[in-house]
Structure 1
Amino acid sequence: MNVAAKMVEILIEEDIIDVFGIPGEQIMPLYEAMSKSGINHILTKHEQGAATAADGYSRSTGKIGVCITTASPGALNTAMPLATAFKDNVPLLLLTGDNELKYRGSDHFQTTPQLEMFRHITRASYNPLNGTEAMYMLRASIYELKNFPKGPIHINLPKDVLLQEEFDDFDLCYLCEDDMSNMARAQERIDNAERPLFILGAGAISEAQNIERIANEYQIPVTTTFHGKGAVPDDNPLNLGLCGIRDTERAKYAFENSDCIMGLGIKASERTLPEIPDNFIHVNINKDVLVGDYPIHGKVSDFIAQAKFKPADWMDELSEIDGSYHIEGLDDDLKPQAAIKRILERFPDNIIASDAGSHTTWTTLLKKSQKPRQLLFSGAMAPMGYGLPAAIGASIATGEKVIVINGDGDFQMNLQELATLKQQDLDVIVFILNNSEFGIIRQWQESFYDMEPYQIHLENPDFVKLASSYGIDGVRVDNIDDLELILDKDLIGPLVVEVIVESEDIPLPP
């Protein structure tokens, strides 16, 4: 057995069955091993699509998403989705091939310093020099990704290392490196609080049921980040809505008047918190993002298990504050927000994969999440072209119907993955909101630069014919009535629905 075969054996042993990628010369030993295994390899049409699909796979389930590519050209095509996963702390494993060790540092064909290139967009980038190191790095990476999902890990695999047949394998024993030393001070803050508040991020999702139980029992109000939506259902009266740049008046009031804010599994970025208050208890497994006077480096589950809460009594006060989002144009024919409202009403319980653009604002504000992982989009990096491949990954992971809401511009960034959608025959419905422009760019040009729209108009293809060329059914609508007629049908993917919409500005944060 060579290193490649053993690595595949380890993946299966760790219940990692689904992987996304494209084969190539330097990674061929791994593909040879996979061809003889029970691995389910999903062949995408571009490495960016493969890594983004792995991202959607992970976000929709919490499992490790795996992407496999060959050397430099293939590997470097994953840079954007890798950076996206890094910024949003998504647990991905990227395995890239490389030329033989003797070519390291040379100008040999398809040789680049992949380790250095990925170092700043991964939690770790490894370069094993022999089979034993490859075994250790794979096992260590999987352990880290399962137990401390801070973001992607990259392992660069030279072809001659993959082919080695002499190596050692071993069991790993890890201890959780955390620092709960501030727990006593945090508990004192909680004990003295009359107006406690939870802010929940993606890192709190694994403890969603326990947090909701505590919130209900002690009447502690909750706000969430974009990626924490659904940790406590949106229809729970204790859920005040989003915090940060898209907050409700109620959430803003709670943040400004709370005497104990508990940020669980959040990054506390400028998009989440306008400032870091002196009563802020910050819990995160990633010590690099901890801020405030009460930083706790550890798991949200450990904090919840150790903390002692008491009843709060300020929900009546908060209920007097407006807790709704005021969005105009929801009944206009045909504003993008009007179309999105109807799509979300038709698919209230399905996973929604959005992209980057004006439609993302409407989608995040209008989506009512009753459970976690129902809304997939890139928050901190926001690359165009995320929606379709992420939906493919989520559909592979869950087996559920997935809805894509994207614009005409970002859809074209990864439209080649329609071929993957068709090949996998997935129940994914793609809604393309077509306004023939880069809408947010136009809005910025007009609002902040006092300029006429420049280089934002799109000469789009016929999206229905495009879908048909891939063997996928497509339909076009240009008014609300026709959209509602389509939505009334029993829609089964793969399907593309092009929705002609008007140019529209999104509401900008104050």
Structure 2
Amino acid sequence: MNVANKFVEILEEEGIENIFGIPGDQIMPVYKALSESNINHVLTRHEQAAAHAADGYYRSSGKIGVCIATASPGALNFTMAIATAFKDNIPLLILTGDNELKYKGTDYFQTTPQLEIFKNITQTSYNPLNGTEAIYVLRAAIYELKTIPKGPIHINLSKDVLLEEDFDDFELCYLCENDLSNISKAQELINNAVKPLFILGAGAISQRENIEMLSKKYQIPVTTTFHAKGIISEYDELNLGLVGIRATPRAKYAMENADCIIALGIKASERTLPKIPKNLIHVNINSDVLIGDYPIQGKVEDFLLEISFKKVNWLSEILEIENEVKIDGLDADLKPQAAIKRILNKFSNNIIASDAGSHTTWTTLLKKSLKPGQLLFSGAMAPMGYGLPAAIGAAVATGEKIIVINGDGDFQMNLQELATIRENNLNVIIFILNNSEYGIIRQWEESMYDMEPYQVNLNNPNFTKLASSYGIDAVRVDNLTDLELILEKELAGPLVVEVVVESEDIPLPKV
């Protein structure tokens, strides 16, 4: 048995069922081992799509996403998608092949400093120098991804290391680093609070049942970040909605009037907390993101075991505020928000994969989630081209019908993945909102730079013919009546629906 065989054996032992990637010379020993394993490999058409798919796989299911590529040309195609996962703290396992160790630091064919490149966009980047070290870092990476999921972990594997047959394997023992020294101060703040508020981030998803029980028992209202939407159903009155630059009226009021804010598993970016509030208890396993006067490094689970709450009575005060976000044009023919409203009404319980741009704003404003992982989008990095491959990952992870809401520009960033959808017969329905422009950039040009639209108009292909060339059914609509008729049917993927829409400005956030 060589290291590559042992790698795949460990992945199977750890419950890895699916891997996304593209084979190549330097990573071929792992592919040989995969071909003899029970792990399903999903062949994408671009490495960026493989990593986005692994990202969507995790966000939709909570299972570790794994992606694999060969040396430099393959590995470097990962970088945009890995940076996206890194910015959103998505735990992925990234495996890249490399030339033999003797070529490290040389100008040999397809040799680049992959370790140094990935260090900037991963939680940890490893470059094992022998078989024993390779097995050690794989076990360490999987342990960390399962127990301390701060972000993606990269292992760079030289071909000669993968082919080694002389190596040791051993069990690892880790302790999660915690700093609960502020617990007593936090408890005192909670004891004195009459208007406490939870802010929930993705790091709190694993404790959703416990948090929902506490929130209902003690009547503590909840707000969420984008990535924690649905941690408590957004149809429950205790869930006030989004916090931050897209805050709902109730969430905004609660943030301004709370005397104790308990932030669980949030990154506390400028989009969530433009200003650091007073009386903030911030709990996160990653000490690098902690802010405020009561920082607590540790798992949300450990914090909740140590803390106690009391029943409060200020929810009725918050509920007096009308919480609907006013959106114009929801019934106007050819408006993107009108089309998105109808798509979401039809698929209210499905996972929605969005992307980057104006359509994402409408989608996040209109989508209500019953549980976490029902809205996937490219978050803090916000690259175009996320939606389609993320939907592939979600479809593989869940086996469910996945809905993609794409702009025409987004779709064309990774349109080759229609082949992956067709090949795997995935139940993915793709709605392309075609306004023949980079709409949000056009809006910035006009509103922020007082300029005429420049380099934003798109001369698009015939999207229905394009989908048909991949063997995927497709239809085109250019009015709300026809869209509604399409949505009345029992739709199943693979399917592409092109929706022609007008140019439309999004409501810009007010900080």
Fold shared by both chains (TM-score > 0.5) = yes
Query: 1:264 — aligned with what?
Result: 264
Alignment correspondent of 1:93: 93
Matched positions, count: 510
Letter in 2 for 1:236: D
Stretch deviating more after TM superposition (171-180 or 463-472) = 171-180
1:423-469 per-residue CA deviation (whole Å, 9 max, x = no partner) reads: 00000000000000000000000000000000000000000000000
> Which residue of structure 2 lines up, in the alignment, with residue 33 of structure 1?
33
One-letter amino acid of the counterpart of residue 288, structure 1: D
Contact 1:281-1:296 within 8 A present in 2 as well? yes
Match of 1:303 in 2: 303
Q: CA deviation at 1:305?
A: 1.8
Q: Distance in 2 between matches of 1:494 and 1:297?
A: 44
Alignment TM-score, normalising by the size of structure 2: 0.99
* Residues 383-442 of structure 1: per-residue CA shift (max 9 Å, x gap): 000000000000000000000001000100000000000000000000000000000000
Matched AA of 2:270: E
Structure 2 partner of 1:338:
338
Pairwise CA distance, 1:39: 1.2
Partner Cα distance (1:445, 1:435) in 2: 17
- 2:80 maps to 80
* Structure 1 residues 173-209: Cα deviation after superposition (integer angstroms, max 9, x where no partner): 1111111111111000000000000001111111111
Kept in 2: contact 1:248–1:322 (CA 8 A): no
Shift, 1:221, TM fit: 0.7
Aligned to 1:291: 291
Tell me how far 1:322 sits from its aligned partner.
2.4
Would the aligned equivalents of 1:229 and 1:369 in 2 still touch at CA under 8 Å? Answer: yes
Instruction: Report the equivalent of 1:154.
Output: 154
Counterpart for residue 218 of structure 1: 218
User: TM-score normalized by structure 1?
Assistant: 0.99
**Map of 2:47 onto structure 1:** 47
1:79-478, aligned counterparts within 5 Å?
79-478=79-478
The separation in 1 between residues aligned to 2:502 and 2:70, in whole angstroms, is 42
Residues 276, 292 of structure 1: 8 Å contact kept? yes
Amino acid at match of 2:384: M
Paired AA for residue 284 in structure 1: N
Q: Secondary structure at the match of 1:245?
A: coil
Q: Which residue of 2 aligns with 1:67?
A: 67
Give the 4+ runs in structure 1 shifted more than 4 A. Answer: none
Structure 1 residue 277, shift from structure 2 partner: 1.7
Deviation at 1:239, TM superposition (A): 1.0
Instruction: Find the counterpart in structure 2 of residue 16 from structure 1.
Output: 16
Q: Relative to structure 2, which stretch is displaced further, 335-344 or 317-326? A: 317-326
Q: Give distance in 2, aligned partners of 1:64 and 1:467.
A: 31
Displacement of 1:278 in angstroms is 2.3
Greater displacement, 150-159 / 249-258: 249-258
The Cα shift of 1:238 comes to 1.0
Code of the residue aligned with 1:256 in structure 2: it is E
Inter-partner Cα distance in structure 2 for 1:111 and 1:412: 30
- Letter of the 1:474 partner, please give it: A
The whole-number CA distance in structure 2 between the counterparts of 1:349 and 1:253 is 28
Letter in 1 for 2:385: G
Q: Deviations over 1:130-182 (max 9, x none)?
A: 00000000000000001111110000000000000000000111111111111
Shift of 1:50: 0.5
Instruction: Give the Cα separation in 2 of the matches to 1:110 and 1:278.
Output: 52
Distance 1:491 1:441 in 2: 33
C-alpha deviations, 1:347-380, integer Å up to 9, x for none? 0110000000100000001001011110001110
Corresponding residue SS for 2:168: coil
Q: CA RMSD in A?
A: 0.6
**1:118 aligned partner, one-letter code:** F
Deviation at 1:251, TM superposition (A): 0.9
> Aligned partners of 1:84 and 1:27: how far apart in 2?
24
Aligned AA for 1:428?
A: V
Q: Tell me which amino acid in the other structure corresponds to 1:237.
A: E
- Which letter maps to 1:167? F
Query: Deviation string for 1:307-360 (max 9, x for gaps)?
Result: 100011111111122211111100000100000000000001100000001000
State the distance in 1 between where 2:322 and 2:333 align. Answer: 28
Which residue is 2:508 aligned to? 508
**Deviation at 1:274?**
2.2
Whichever residue aligns with residue 235 of structure 1, its letter is Y
Contact 1:63 1:91 in 2 (8 A): no
Which amino acid is 2:205 matched to?
A: I
Letter in structure 2 aligned against 1:113: P
Matched residue, 1:7: 7
Q: Tell me the distance in 2 between the aligned counterparts of 1:27 and 1:317.
A: 60
TM-superposed CA distance for 1:57, in Å, is: 0.3
For residues 167 and 280 of structure 2, the distance between their equivalents in structure 1, rounded to whole angstroms, comes to 49
CA distance in 2, matches of 1:319, 1:33: 58
**Aligned position for 1:495:** 495
The Cα of 1:241 is off from its aligned counterpart by 1.0
Residues 230 and 374, structure 1, Cα contact 8 Å, conserved in 2: yes
SS in 2 for 1:432: strand
**Counterparts of 2:345 and 2:424, CA distance in 1:** 27
Contact 1:216–1:238 (CA<8 Å) still a contact in 2? yes
Letter of the structure 1 residue corresponding to residue 100 of structure 2: E
After superposition, what is the alpha-carbon deviation per residue over 1:210-241, rounded to whole angstroms, capped at 9, x for unaligned?
11111111110111110110001111111111
Residue aligned with 2:233, SS = coil
User: Helix, strand or coil for the counterpart of 1:6?
Assistant: helix
**Structure 1 unaligned runs (5+)?**
none
Please give the alpha-carbon distance, in whole angstroms, between the structure 2 residues aligned to 1:248 and 1:39. 43
Render the CA deviation track for 1:233-292: whole Å, top value 9, x for unaligned.
Answer: 111111111110001121111101100000111011110012112200000111110001
Q: Secondary structure at the match of 2:26?
A: coil
The runs of 5 or more residues in structure 2 that have no matched partner are none
Contact 1:2–1:162 (Cα < 8 Å) also in 2: yes
